[in-house]
Structure 1
Amino acid sequence: MIIIGEKINGTIPAIRGAIEKRDAKFIAECAIKQEEAGADFIDVCAGTAPELEIEALKWLMEVVQNATETPLCIDSPNPRVIEAAFKYANKPGLINSVSDEGEKCEVLLPLMDGNTWEVIGLTCNNKGIPCDVQTKVDIAKIMVDKAAKFGITPDRIHIDPCVMALSTNNDSLLNFTREISEIRALYPTIHITAGLSNISFGLPARSLMNKTFLALAIQAGMDSAVMDPTNQDMMGTIFAAYALLGKDKYCRAYSKAFRQGKITIPEK
Structure 2
Amino acid sequence: MIIIGEKINGTIPVVKEAIEKRDAAYIADRAIKQTTAGANFIDVCASTAPEHEIETLKWLMDVVQDATDTPLSIDSPNPRVIEAVFKYAQKPGVINSISEEGDKCEVLLPLLEGNTWEVVGLTCDNNGIPNDLETKVNITKTMVEKAAKYGITPDRIHIDPCVMALSTDHNALLNFVEEIRTIKALFPQIHVTGAISNISFGLPIRTLINQTAMSYALQAGMDSAVLDPMNLDMMGTIFAANALLGQDKHCRKYSKAYRTGQIGSIKKDLRKP
TM range (shorter): over 0.9
Q: Quote the Cα distance in structure 2 between the aligned partners of 1:172 and 1:152.
A: 30
Q: Which residue of 2 aligns with 1:2?
A: 2
Distance 1:267 1:253, change over 3 A: closer
- For 1:25, give the aligned amino acid: A
- For 2:213, give the aligned amino acid: F
Aligned-pair CA distance for 1:267: 5.8
Q: Which residue of 1 aligns with 2:255?
A: 255
Where does the alignment leave 5 or more consecutive residues of structure 1 unmatched?
A: none
Q: Quote the Cα distance in structure 2 between the aligned partners of 1:259 and 1:125.
A: 44
Q: Which residue of 1 aligns with 2:235?
A: 235
Q: Which residue of 2 aligns with 1:147?
A: 147
Q: Which residue of 2 aligns with 1:164?
A: 164
Q: Quote the Cα distance in structure 1 between the aligned partners of 2:152 and 2:10.
A: 30
- Describe the SS at the equivalent of 2:115: coil
- Describe the SS at the equivalent of 2:116: coil
Q: Quote the Cα distance in structure 2 between the aligned partners of 1:223 and 1:194.
A: 10
Q: Which residue of 2 aligns with 1:75?
A: 75
User: What are the within-5 Å matches in structure 2 for residues 1-268 of structure 1?
Assistant: 1-265=1-265, 266=268
Q: Quote the Cα distance in structure 1 between the aligned partners of 2:211 and 2:181.
A: 21
Aligned-pair CA distance for 1:182: 1.2
- Describe the SS at the equivalent of 1:168: coil
Q: Quote the Cα distance in structure 1 between the aligned partners of 2:132 and 2:211.
A: 25
Query: TM-score if structure 2 supplies the norm length?
Result: 0.97
Query: TM-score if structure 1 supplies the norm length?
Result: 0.99
- For 1:82, give the aligned amino acid: I
Q: Quote the Cα distance in structure 2 between the aligned partners of 1:71 and 1:98.
A: 18
Q: Quote the Cα distance in structure 1 between the aligned partners of 2:181 and 2:216.
A: 13
Give the CA RMSD over aligned residues. 0.8
Q: In the TM superposition, what whole-angstrom CA distance separates every residue of 1:161-187 from its partner, at most 9, and x where no partner exists?
A: 000001111111111111111111111
Q: Which runs of 4+ in 1 moved over 2 A?
A: 265-268
- For 2:223, give the aligned amino acid: D
Work out the number of aligned pairs and report it: 268
Q: Quote the Cα distance in structure 1 between the aligned partners of 2:31 and 2:4.
A: 11
- For 1:65, give the aligned amino acid: Q
